[in-house]
Amino acid sequence: MRQVIIIGSGPAGFTAAIYAARANLEPLLIASSVEAGGELMNTTEVENFPGFPEGIMGPELMAKMQEQAERFGTEVLYDDVVSLDLTGDIKKVVLGSGAEHEAESIVFATGSAPRKIGIEGETRLSGHGVSYCATCDGFFFREQQIAVVGGGDSAMEEATFLTKFASKVYVIHRRDELRASKIMQDRARANEKIEFVWNSEVIDVLGDDAVTGILLRDTVDGSERELPLTGVFVAIGNDPRTHLVHQQLELTEHGTVWVDGRTSRTSQPGVFAAGDVVDPTYRQAVTAAASGTTAALDVEHYLAARGDAGAPEVDASEIDGLTDAA
Ligand code: NAP
């Protein structure tokens, strides 16, 4: 049996692993069979992670975090968690391979998944012109006209990146004001290949076997029109990945896992949550990493309180998550 199993391999999971491994907890980290590394694997240059003044590519940053976690003894498994039993004193984790693992504590750091518009053509043509990842699929749209849906930082980032390939990128936004940060907006607005389509929602994606256009509805006057294009990149935010724990952990009104104040303690003793799965607001690589730290420290205190970590007994209920030094 493990002292701690960490589920998730984004900045929260790997940072929790670095701290837990350095505390000699010999963590097992379940990294997913296909999406290891989390959202940063789908991003290009990360310009705002401290310590990299020239920026660093998302996948390279994740590889470095993994290397650091493994250096201190983290074991990484590339498999998917298919079910969890978090209710007992001993937590059970069942993997896609059929393997079962047990642990005294769990760090749940499964992040978030791209939000879908929820229209028929989107599902039908997913992978045939509809995409949720510009860095994965942008290459296929050389010299083509495409659209990015959304008005946040992700949409600006994707649109700007896609101008490397596409001849034209429409940004379709449901309002006349962007949600994105000023620097990302300015970059997109200055790009000649980007055209903003304001006050518009995508009500259908057109095409039989491949995307040929989108149907737009004006959110002000309700009028509809078709826009011919060959690709649609949906960048309208993310939803926390909580399906594994719905019946077992309390969730918030935002759909994120509930945690106790500034700690990572969930409604289930011995289960700690970190990263985008608990954060409806900030959702940055660096805030996820910080919350992974909190989770690992909370695990340490929890195990110490059980008398298993070789540390003096502490009452976990008295810890506010900020009591330990790094
Ligand atoms: P976001 O900030 O929540 O923005 C989502 C955008 O999609 C909003 O403009 C929203 O419109 C629109 N939207 C939501 N649901 C929609 C729907 N059903 N149909 C049409 N449009 C819809 O999400 P995000 O852009 O993914 O960013 C998430 C977080 O990651 C943010 O904190 C962001 O700063 C961060 N991030 C940072 C970077 C960076 O710094 N390099 C890059 C990417 C993301 P409304 O504006 O009308 O609500």
pLDDT digits (tens, 9 = 90+) for 272-298: 999 999 998 888 899 999 999 999 999
Pairing state between β 45-46 and 56-57: antiparallel
The per-residue pLDDT for 246 is 93
* CA angle centred on 34, ends 31 and 38, rounded to 5°: 55
Tell me which of 325 and 302 has the higher pLDDT: 302
pLDDT digits (tens, 9 = 90+) for 157-167: 999 999 999 99
Cα 50 to ligand 1 centroid, rounded to whole Å: 22
- Ligand 1 pocket test, pick from 56, 130, 135, 153 with the greatest ligand atom count within 8 Å of Cβ, gives 153
Other residues' Cβ atoms within 10 Å of the Cβ of residue 279:
22
Please tell me the residue having the least CA distance from ligand 1 atom 13: 236
Residues 175, 135, 56, 23, CA torsion sign: positive
CB 7 within 8 A of CB 108: yes
Residues with CB under 6 A from ligand 1: 48, 117, 149-155, 157, 174-175, 179, 201, 236-238, 283
The residues with which 108 forms a beta bridge, in sequence order, are 7, 273
CA separation for the pair 107, 296 (Å, rounded): 8
Mean pLDDT, residues 38-46: 82
Whether 137 is catalytic is yes
pLDDT digits (tens, 9 = 90+) for 126-158: 989 999 989 878 999 999 999 999 999 999 999
pTM confidence score: 0.79
Please tell me the residue having the least CA distance from ligand 1 atom 15: 236
Please tell me the residue having the least CA distance from ligand 1 atom 23: 237
Kindly name the residue from 136, 176, 186, 320 that is annotated as catalytic: 136
Least confident stretch, 69-78, 100-109, 136-145, 222-231: 136-145
